[in-house]
Chain A
């Protein structure tokens, strides 16, 4: 059993349990998740692992294996959120900051694309880049004063910014269509090839995810990544080796916003509408949870978190009005039990849990 394999390399002694078929059923999905979100402390290993090829293949072939259109739709959304979470994870997980207003950049991207394509007939491909640019620009403007703050104050300031964005969007009806939003955004298209089915959109979104992932990975393994981690761990030490802390923070904030802008643009083209309700605080909470649950400080985390939470939302939506209460309870439980990510040392934790459970059974049996 591969579970035992991992265990022998990571813990000293094996728990004395008998493995029943039932346990397999519980463990398999957990083990699969632990594959997806590897131990973040190994992120610095630079070799191109076989695992990454496996993920790439999985992404390429998954929609062909499950050709259910609902699955495709879900994965398209997951891909878009993954882009969003990836950008946010660079800002939060690596540089150690907090942003509770990131949905605003997502919204800026979506609305930029919406306005440009519906009113000025700008081709979606150009609007796509313009979205990222506008998001990054606004991030640059507000980032300068805001990033001087730390901790709760930074969180609050970004939250305030997010709310202001929402208010402005809701009120400027001429520009943004107010509460109703903008309709009729065309499909994303490049040189005549239009992404009009979920399948095509899937490859578009996940192609972007792969590209941005490689880009981020290169960043993280270079001086930029080290500067981010340095600023996240100790700003004083970072400035003592010549790293310009405020510039570093501002730059990564801009990049995170640009990612969000791209994601927003894709979102607008796929949903064909842009309306304010999609960009509220609740959505920001969702994205931040994706970053946290995947494990801060590694790049697989936000992607895994995005997939996980998108599926979760889909499952919960079947429960209608119970969905939010259940969702919030799950969030809180995950925060209490997995604050450093669901995948972190999951295999170790599972082993520990099995061992504990088995010992408990033995104790109970002994008492009888």
Chain B
């Protein structure tokens, strides 16, 4: 009785966080399609988006939209730097070394962020005032609408980028058939480089969207990154649509689980889902097997 009345509420917050998971998952898929690398530092881009915007807003006293934009650009630069300094030298290394390197990068980014920006959780002002909206019995922060709307717009933007622009098509080509694209003059390394920037930007965008609703602190990146990855696997590894679907599904399931299990276990839900998926259907919901083209 009482439980069920929470469901719509949980559903909605699930959608909200699901949108963020979808963005993080999208970031993962972008990089891994271009380079068969899984970037465990993806969650840090999200965290940095929120934290840097906070810093620019409150420290440098920039107007909100400008702060957000600059923050996204800075995080994109960090993504580029990460590629150049870590992943380009290691482009021929084994899977294990790559995993450890991206994990190392994740530690570096989160600890440096704690160092530079402080360890207190940060929050940003919601885009349109602080009053929660009400539909029927459900009240939700207006920010959630912004999250969903912005995610939708971003997805359309990314779709147009990858299908209508030459650059986007080049990136798609490079990820589908690296050798073929190489023969056509598309530099694989350049595509991977750009993929890092795009993922970083997408992640930062997500971070800015979500910080008003859930606080962001230097350590929130790690868990977010892992959950985003789980979302990508859940939805169907290797596909953009899979990442988005997985993100929303994960967000909703995780949120709904709060109705049934003690809140402390919430973070474990994602990992249980992960183990289930890997065991029963590693291809994910939309299913496309993870073909490691480097190894062939």
Interface residues of A (CB under 8 A from B): 92, 98, 100, 145-146, 148-149, 151-153, 155-157, 159-161, 163-164, 167-168, 170-171, 281-282, 285, 288-289, 292, 321-322, 324-325, 327-329, 331-332, 335-336, 339
Contact = CB atoms under 8 A, between A and B. Distances in A.
Interface of B: 38, 86, 89-90, 93-97, 99-101, 103-105, 107-108, 111-112, 114-115, 222, 226, 229-230, 233, 262, 264-265, 267-268, 271-272, 274-275, 278-279, 282, 290, 292
A288 B222 CA distance: 18
Contact of B97 (A157, A281, A282, A339): A339
A167 B95 contact: no
Nearest to A323: B111
A331 B233 contact: no
Nearest to B229: A156
Given A98-B95, A335-B101, 15 more contacts: A98-B96, A100-B99, A151-B292, A152-B95, A153-B290, A157-B275, A160-B271, A163-B226, A171-B264, A171-B268, A281-B222, A321-B114, A324-B108, A332-B108, A339-B94
A169 to B, nearest CB: 11
A183 B270 CA distance: 31
Looking at chain A's contact residues, the main secondary structure is helix
Contact of B278 (A157, A168, A171, A327): A157
B111 A161 contact: no
B30 to A, nearest CB: 16
A329 to B, nearest CB: 6
28 contacts: A92-B96, A98-B95, A152-B290, A153-B233, A153-B278, A156-B274, A156-B278, A163-B226, A163-B267, A167-B265, A167-B268, A171-B268, A281-B103, A288-B96, A292-B96, A292-B97, A321-B114, A324-B111, A328-B105, A328-B107, A328-B108, A328-B111, A331-B107, A332-B104, A335-B100, A335-B101, A336-B89, A339-B93
B279 A145 contact: yes
B108 A335 contact: no
Contacts of A339: 90, 93-94, 97
Contacts of A289: 100
A336 B290 contact: no
Nearest to A337: B89
Contacts of A159: 226
A282 B107 contact: yes
A152 B38 CA distance: 8
Query: Shortest 7 CB-CB distances between A and B: which pairs?
Result: A324-B111, A167-B268, A328-B108, A328-B107, A160-B271, A171-B264, A331-B104
Contact of A285 (B95, B103, B230): B103
A156 B233 contact: yes
A229 to B, nearest CB: 16
Contacts of A152: 38, 95, 99, 290
Given A152-B290, A325-B111, A328-B108, A168 B86 contact: no
Contacts, number: 116
A325 B262 CA distance: 35
A166 B271 CA distance: 11
B262 A171 contact: yes
B108 A325 contact: yes
Nearest to A339: B97
Contacts of A161: 271, 275
Given A156-B229, A164-B271, A281-B222, A335 B282 contact: no
A214 B153 CA distance: 62
Contacts of B274: 156-157, 160
Nearest to A281: B222
Contacts of A285: 100, 103-104, 107
Contacts of B264: 167, 170-171
Nearest to A170: B264
Contacts of A292: 96-97, 100
B100 A288 contact: yes
Contacts of B38: 152, 156
Contact of B108 (A100, A148, A329): A329
Given A328-B104, A328-B108, A167 B267 contact: yes
A331 B41 CA distance: 15
Nearest to A171: B264
A156 to B, nearest CB: 7
Contacts of A321: 114-115
A140 to B, nearest CB: 16
Contacts of B94: 339
Nearest to B103: A285
B282 A149 contact: yes
A289 B272 CA distance: 26
Contacts of B262: 171
B90 A325 contact: no
A357 B278 CA distance: 50
A163 B271 contact: yes
